[in-house]
Amino acid sequence: MAAQPGRYKASQRELAYRVWRAAGQNLAETLRVLDAEYEWPLAKQTIADWRDQLGWVARAAADDAEERRRTRAAQTDRTAMLAGIDEQIGRYEGAFRAAAAAGQAPDPRSMAAYANLMRLRLVLARDLDAGAGLNRGDLVAEALEWLAQWVSEHLPERTEALAAVLSAAAGPLAAHCDGAGV
């Protein structure tokens, strides 16, 4: 028997999808987690029907691709931000090697500048790894994800309408972020 579309709320199906995806798309593990952690026993066929009818496999692939894109973008931003500092650090290190090869002591002001630059690099790398320095596009995407989650939990009857609006707005929003140099 196929899953009845009106029997469960969109927010419940969304929870099942998220658990299914986190469980490695394993139906048995999904059922175990839903039962154990959410006290929501479901039939295996219900999850299988939702997976097939709602296109969960394709959605999961798209979600995975988006996560990889965000990770690459964040790493690229991090690398670009640190590249200039790394280049200057390399110059100081080259000067220090040249001075040592010539039997000279390094300039104390250069040593102080180098130490400050190293300290700045460590702090910046730590802050970037903690999430600082996100671009506006990432912040907008995170805000929209939060909004979608909030609507699915608090206004489940509006979830499908929000999805339609966000889908329609995705292209123009991406163009705006790209055009704004974000």
Query: Mean pLDDT, to the nearest integer, of 118-137?
Result: 72
What pLDDT, on a 0 to 100 scale, did the predictor assign at position 102?
93
pLDDT at 124: 81
Per-residue pLDDT at 113: 85
- Which pLDDT score, from 0 to 100, does residue 121 have? 84
pLDDT at position 66 over 80: yes
pLDDT of residue 71: 74
- Please state the pTM of the whole predicted model: 0.45
Going by C-alpha positions, the residue among 64, 36, 62, 31 that lies closest to residue 48 is: 31
Please give the pLDDT value at position 103. 92
How far, CA to CA in Å, does 96 sit from each of 107, 108, 122? 8, 11, 20
Find the farthest-apart pair of alpha carbons in the chain and give their distance in angstroms, rounded. 85
d(CA 93, CA 114) in angstroms, rounded, equals 8
Percentage with pLDDT > 70 across the chain: 80
Q: What is the chain's mean pLDDT, rounded?
A: 81
The mean per-residue pLDDT over the stretch 149-167 comes to 78
Angle subtended at Cα 153 by Cα 151 and Cα 159, rounded to the nearest 5 degrees? 40
Dist. CA 70–CA 78, nearest whole Å: 12
CA distance 12 to 117: 51
Residue 47: predicted pLDDT: 95
- Tell me what percent of the residues of the chain surpass a pLDDT of 90: 29
Label residues 153-174 b or e (16+ Cβ within 10 Å = b): eeebeebeebeeeeeeeeeeee
pLDDT at 135: 58
Quickly list H helices, the chain. 10-22, 27-38, 44-53, 56-101, 108-129, 136-154, 159-179
Please give the structure tokens belonging to residue 42: 């479901």
Of 50-54, 84-88, 156-160, 161-165, the one with minimum mean pLDDT is 161-165
DSSP state, 157? G
Predicted confidence (pLDDT) at residue 34 exceeds the cutoff of 90: yes
CA distance 68 to 46: 30
